Amino acid sequence: MDRSPLEQDTRPAVPAFAGGLKPRLAWLALFWEAAWPALWPSVGVAGLFLSLALLDILPSLGFALHLAALVLFLGVFLFLTVRNLRRLRLPEARAALRRLETASGLGHRPLSGLQDTLGSNPKDPMAQALWQAHQSRLARLVRTLRVGLPSPGLARRDVWGLRAALGLLLVVAVAAGWRDADDRLLRAVTPSFAGAVPAGPPTVDAWINPPAYTGLPPLYLRKAADAAVPAAQPADQAPLSIPTGSKLLVQVHGGTGQPVLRLDAAETAFQSIDASNHRLETELTGGTRLGIAQDGATLQEWRIKVLPDGAPRIDFASDPAAGERDALKLEYQASDDYGLEAVTATIRRAASTEPGAATIGEESIDLSLLLPALAPKQARAASYHDLTPHPWAGTPVQIELTAQDAIGQEGRSGPFLLVLPERQFTHPVARAIIEQRKRLTLEPEAREDIAEQLTGIAAQPQAYNEDTVVFLALKSSVTRLYEEGGEIAAVQDLLWDTALRLEDGGVSLAERDLRDIQRRLQEALARNAPEEELERLMDELERAMDRFMEAMMEQMQQMAEQGMQPEQFDPSQMQQIDRQDLQRMMDQMREMMRSGARDKAQQMLSQMQQMMENLRFGMMQQQQNSQQMQQQMQSLQELQDLTRRQQQLLDETFQMQQQMQGDADQPSQRGQQPGLQGQQGPEQGQQNRQMGQEGRSGQAEGRSRMTPERGAALQEALRRALGDLMRRMGEVGEIPRQLGQAERAMRDSSDALRGNQPGEAIPAETEALDQLRSGAQQMAEQMAQQMMAGQQPGQQGQDRPGQQGRRQGERDPFGRPYNNDGQFATGDVEVPEQSDLKRAREIFDELRRRSGDTSRPDYELDYIDRLLRRF
């Protein structure tokens, strides 16, 4: 039957705890806290012996010292071990329970009640209930006990921290001898009875690493030599050429004693890594004989020749001159021992272009000239610099070239004097503006007079097609010139932009952007910029090229609409052909840069720049020719008008002579008429008779008003008009010689009329009329020949039966010669084939793979990195 709680079993609710896991762990912790301080001296001795063994120090002591060291280490180890183990005391079980109570933070030693039993009346229900409650509390307490980490307290005994020093020494020893640890340990415990191991024959490893800027590979020398037999360089062998500043790295393995480096009479001791390994690194800046000696014996010897780094040399390859589009062409040739780093041109104002002319002021223009390759030893290149916007354009300047190498040495050319090229404007208002702009440079004190001249130009809006932007720009310039302290440079920039707007609209601005991106791309290629930057610049170049071509096509269409282009011109077809060629060149440049052939890409970019120069020059030349043709047409029309007015004056003079002789002398006057006709020729005489009939029938009023004084004034006005026409014709072309004879005949006619002698004036007027007609006929023939010559290239470009391709020597709109198949020639730029590009890419990938191999020597990795920088 069931028992009540007070009558249940009175056995302990907590099982036996002394043999549990936690008391055992606590006992082990107490044992370690007692054993480790006792064993630490022995472990320290063993660690010191292991470090010396791995560092291979003991075999170098010799047999006696080696054996003594082994005996000493073994004796100290056994003595310390035996003594400390005898002093070691094992912990008791009660100490383990006490550790649990201490680690768990329990007070009053509650675990001592785990083995207790109910000692009073076991039958007492109240005693049993209290006992069970006590046992339950102990059971819950056991589950929360902690052992804690052992704390030997070694720091209290090792006040000097010797265990940290021993640990560091052991780490160094393992790092130095882990590869052949077995052999080292075996040598450490087995001293040789034959004495110390004799050192092997010395071995010399020598590297000469030239400075990085030289681009030369490291010179590696390695030769084993017997100490008794010096290994010297033969006397008849040429000395080693070493650039100054080269690093010499020498390592000596084996032998006895500390080696020394002998450079002529100076000696430098090596740094000893251990007893048999020595190392030295130094920089070579002079000397003729280099040797390595050990124990008084020469191990290796070389004859050397330290080459100094000479300054660069530079000079003009051709005289600086204006290019096709008034850009300054600078062609130079330069050289350096190990490579050029930069070439610059310095331009200063000069008093004149005479030899020895002094410079004006300290201000200068510094131009960075492009190098044909990365750090070339020999360089010859031409670059174009558009300085026409600069205020110095059209003034005498002095140009001096400077070449710089990698260590900052400079070489300079002689000064060259010339007039800085300036742009020739065809628009009359643009020419007038540029003239005043130049005066601001040459005569800065004449600001008010220049402002008045600009005001006069702005007051004639019909001359610049009433362009509001031009008017506002001129007024703004005038206002700034009148202001005190106004910036002249800002006014000059504004006047330049205004002249460009009048001359050719937006083509010049697009051209300016194109030249800027071409210069930036050239500089990026020269300094070996990353591939991402080159791709970005190529994209900008394509966009700038598109804008430039669009602006040019728009200008060409406007010229065609104004009759300034031949009828055979087709802007859309030319635009398509040119853009195809340009896109092909762009693709080739991208492929060259990606494959590492950046020198070829730089050459092709220079060729493209030259092509654009030729194209723009051809367009400007064609525009100038068209404008010249228009001016000649206008001059021809004015000449025809002068001829008509001279004919009219001749008729009036003849009628005036008839009136002065009276009706009684009519027969004689008629008799003179055939003579006059004889002087003028049959056609002229017939024309005069017709004009005379018209005068007799319908110009009676004009006959009544003509007088010698009025005739002289009319003739003088015609002569002055002819002189002005001749002056303008001389600006654009050749003046027909007949016009000069006509001018002299007009002067004779004017003098005769002033003397009231119309009869003597008639032959002079007739001569002037004949010469005017002859000059007009000659001028018309010249214009016809020029028009035929202007159409000839277009006719030559057409294929004829039996003719394939284009004529030899013919050039495309970019100025490039055509091949036999009609395609443009690449000139002297060697475009790599696909196989060459593939091979270059393979070499580039192999170099990158080798650069990531850390097992290669440092000098080889450094040389590979220098090669990669060239890509």
CATH at 211: 2.60.40
SS3 category, 293: strand
Smallest CA-to-CA distance from 413 within 395, 423, 399 is with: 399
At position 301, the amino acid (one-letter code) is E
Answer yes or no: is pLDDT of 134 > 80. no
Task: Give the C-alpha separation, 529 to 521, whole Å.
Answer: 9
Using the predicted structure, report yes or no on whether residue 666 has a pLDDT greater than 70. no
24 and 148 share one domain: yes
User: Tens digit of pLDDT for each residue in 49-104?
Assistant: 998 888 888 887 878 888 888 899 999 889 988 888 888 788 777 777 777 777 77
Domain count across the chain: 4
Q: At what angle do helices 682-698 and 666-680 cross, to 10 degrees?
A: 140
Same structural domain, 163 and 99: yes
* Structure tokens belonging to residue 677: 């006709």
842 shares a domain with 719: no
The more confident residue out of 506 and 46 is 46
Helices (runs of H) and strands (runs of E) counted in the chain:
23, 19
Confidence check: pLDDT of 818 > 70: no
How many angstroms separate the CA atoms of 751 and 805, rounded?
Answer: 65
What pLDDT score does 194 carry?
Answer: 47
Most confident of the ranges 6-10, 115-119, 283-287: 283-287
**pLDDT grade, residue 347 (50/70/90)?**
very high
Q: Which of 76-85, 206-215, 285-294, 793-802 has the lowest mean pLDDT?
A: 793-802
Kindly tell me if the per-residue pLDDT of 819 is higher than 60: no
Domain edge (last residue) among 189, 217, 239: 189
The band of 344, judged by pLDDT with boundaries at 50, 70 and 90, is: very high
Residue 745 tokens read as 């005949």
Alpha-carbon dihedral of residues 56, 58, 62, 66, nearest 10 degrees? -150
Query: Of the candidates 277, 273, 230, which has an alpha carbon nearest to the alpha carbon of residue 254?
Result: 277
- Whether residue 246 sits in one domain with residue 149: no
Q: Which helix (H) or strand (E) covers residue 638, if one does?
A: helix 598-661
pTM: predicted TM-score of the whole model, two decimal places? 0.46
CA–chain centroid gap for 250, Å, is 39
Contact between residue 859 and residue 517 where contact means Cβ atoms under 8 Å apart: no
Residues 153 and 92 in one domain: yes
Q: Which H or E element spans position 789? A: helix 758-796
CA proximity to 649, closest of 697, 719, 698? 719
CB count in 10 Å sphere of residue 659: 12
Is residue 415 within 8 Å of residue 398, measured between CB atoms?
Answer: yes
Domain-located, residue 83: yes
Domain assignment present for 597: no
Nearest Cα neighbor of 354 from 435, 282, 417, 304 is: 417
Q: How far is CA 666 from CA 658, 678, 690, 699, 734, in A?
A: 7, 19, 18, 18, 45
Is residue 823 pLDDT above 50, yes or no? no
Domain membership flag for residue 822: no
Residue 598 lies in a domain: no
Pair 751, 783 in one domain: yes
Which of 659, 666, 643, 746 has its CA nearest to residue 695? Answer: 659
CA–CA gap between residue 225 and residue 291 (Å, rounded): 13
If you average pLDDT over residues 329-334, what whole number do you get? Answer: 92
Share of the chain above pLDDT 70, in %: 72
Q: How far apart are CA 324 and CA 110, in angstroms?
A: 110
- Say yes or no: 143 and 57 in one domain: yes
pLDDT tens-digit series, residues 393-443: 889 999 999 999 988 899 999 999 999 998 888 888 988 999 999 888 888
Answer yes or no: are the C-beta atoms of 534 and 593 closer than 8 Å: yes
For 229, the domain range is 203-307
Average pLDDT, the chain: 75
Mean pLDDT of 320-326: 78
**Cβ neighbours for 189, distance < 8 A, ≥ 6 positions apart:** 53, 70
Q: What gap in Å lies between CA 762 and CA 433, rounded to an integer?
A: 47
Residue 851, SS3?
Answer: helix
What is the amino acid identity at position 769? L
pLDDT of residue 362: 84
Amino acid at 438: K
Q: Are residues 297 and 158 in the same domain?
A: no
Is pLDDT above 80 for 182?
yes
Instruction: Give 855: exposed, middle or buried? Use CB within 10 Å, 0-12, 13-18, 19+.
Output: exposed
Measuring CA to CA, how many Å separate 641 from each of 286, 417, 718, 769? 88, 48, 10, 12
Q: Assess whether 158 and 224 both reside in one domain.
A: no
pLDDT at position 497: 85
Dihedral sign from CA coordinates of 52, 56, 59, 60 = negative
Is the confidence at residue 281, as pLDDT, over 70? yes
According to the model, what pLDDT value does residue 870 have? 59
865 has pLDDT over 70: yes
Q: Dmax of the chain from CA atoms?
A: 194
Residues 30 and 136 in one domain: yes
Q: Find where tokens 């610059």 sit.
A: 344
> Which residue has better confidence, 680 or 35?
35
Asked which of 205-219, 326-340, 658-672 is least confident by mean pLDDT, the reply is 658-672
pLDDT at 627: 59
- Cα 168 to Cα 161: distance, rounded to the nearest angstrom: 11
Range picked from 503-507, 571-575, 667-671 for highest mean pLDDT: 503-507
Name the CA radius of gyration of the chain, rounded.
53
Residues in the chain: 871
pLDDT for 730:
74
Q: Which of 189, 223, 251 is the endpoint of a domain?
A: 189
One domain for residues 170 and 207:
no
CA distance 16 to 197: 67
* Best-predicted range by mean pLDDT (157-171, 429-443, 532-546, 553-567): 429-443
Nearest to 522 by CA among 579, 589, 584: 589
Model pLDDT, residue 516: 80
357 versus 581: the higher-pLDDT residue is 357
% the chain with pLDDT above 90: 11
CB distance 148 to 23 below 8 Å: no
* CA angle, 290 then 294 then 296, to 5°: 95
Place of tokens 């680690």: 103
- The CA distance from 619 to 274, in Å, is 79
Domain assignment present for residue 317? The answer is no
pLDDT at residue 832, as a whole number: 54
Cβ neighbours around 235 below 10 Å, total? 6
pLDDT higher for 802 or 625? 625
- Are 230 and 299 a contacting pair, CB within 8 Å? yes
User: What pLDDT is recorded for position 418?
Assistant: 92
204-218, 453-467, 707-721, 823-837: range with lowest mean pLDDT: 823-837
pLDDT at 509 over 90: no
User: pLDDT category, 797, cuts 50, 70, 90?
Assistant: very low
Q: Which pLDDT belongs to residue 402?
A: 95
Of the CA atoms within 13 Å of residue 711, those in its CB half-sphere come to 36
pLDDT tens for 221-236 read: 755 333 333 334 444 5
Handedness of CA 698, 702, 707, 711 (dihedral sign): negative
Question: Does residue 517 fall inside a structural domain?
Answer: no
* Residue 226 pLDDT: 38
For residue 505, tell me if it sits in a domain: no
Residue 397 lies in a domain: no
Compare 793 and 660 and report the one with higher pLDDT: 660
Where does a domain end: 744, 764, 793? 793
Are 282 and 133 part of one and the same domain? Answer: no
Terminal-residue alpha carbon distance, the chain: 102
